[in-house]
Amino acid sequence: MPTIFEYLGIVIRFYSNDHEPIHVHAIYGDCIVKVNFFINDGKIYRTTYVPVKGKFPEAKLKQLKKFVEIYKMKIVYRWEQYFIWKIKVTKQTITNPLKNENRYD
């Protein structure tokens, strides 16, 4: 169950036996939200947030959505690295709040 990011206490991971559509599990305490990415012609055209367990605190859900908006291409890329190319992925920890810039690094 690789963890690919940790952002302000929110752990973002996928399970080794996951399936399409590309998605990750965001975990904060006992709460879990599944984040699905819908892709067409190489572009993410929609992202959904599906509660799986508990209820994310509103402030944390807002932080998660901002993180996903900025890092969505990198999240999808890491999913592809792991599931398609069989490359081990490592966790990146981000401890400072993000600004509204687009990041693809």
pLDDT at 104: 47
Q: For the chain, which residues make up each domain, given as ranges?
A: 3-94
pTM more than 0.85: yes
Measured between alpha carbons, how far is 56 from 39 in angstroms, rounded to an integer? 25
Burial of 14 (0-12, 13-18, 19+ CB in 10 A): buried
pLDDT (tens digit per residue) in 8-67 = 999 999 987 767 789 999 999 999 999 999 999 989 999 999 999 999 999 999 999 999
At 101 the pLDDT is 56
> Residue 102: what pLDDT?
54
In which region does residue 42 sit, left (phi positive, over 0), alpha (psi from -120 to 50) or beta (all else)? left
The pLDDT of residue 17 is 75
- Cα three-residue angle 40-65-89, rounded to 5 degrees: 70
What is the per-residue pLDDT for 40?
Answer: 93
d(CA 17, CA 60): 27
Q: Strand 3-7 vs strand 92-94: parallel, antiparallel, or unpaired? A: parallel
Beta strands 31-40 and 23-28 are antiparallel
Do 31 and 54 meet the contact criterion of CB atoms below 8 Å apart?
Answer: yes
